[in-house]
Amino acid sequence: MLILKGVNIFPTQIEKILMQFHELGNNYLIIVETINNNDEMLIEVELSDLFTDDYSVLQSLTKSITRQLKDELLITPRLKLVSKGSLPVQEGKAVRVKDLRKF
């Protein structure tokens, strides 16, 4: 569980939303960091093999995913769509969260 801007966030909430989109692959990474004294969340998610490189389609997909994430999490994360194979693959249990905040 993460606490971000006073909101409890479970990675499974994010995974539930991401897995609803057939355009996305199965690998994703949640990065939490402090930018200008504000905690920010970036979600990097891989596209599936079958998806296009059309900018307008990708932009529309990003807006749709971000809207659903905001509705579920009550905060607006930044979303970065990356090509398949861009994110590191872990042996064993996958590491899905990188918390780079300084406490």
In tens, the pLDDT along 5-20 reads 899 999 999 999 999 9
User: What is this structure's pTM?
Assistant: 0.89
Cα distances (Å, whole numbers) of residue 48 to 18, 19, 24, 35, 77: 12, 11, 5, 30, 21
In tens, the pLDDT along 18-39 reads 999 999 998 999 999 999 989 9
* Residue whose C-alpha is closest to residue 52's, from 20, 87, 22: 22
- Look at the domain 2-87 and name its fold: GMP Synthetase; Chain A, domain 3 (3.30.300)
Domain boundaries, the chain: 2-87
Q: Are strands 38-47 and 24-35 parallel, antiparallel or unpaired?
A: antiparallel
Element housing 82 (H / E): strand 78-82
In tens, the pLDDT along 44-89 reads 999 988 777 788 989 999 999 999 999 999 999 999 999 888 888 8
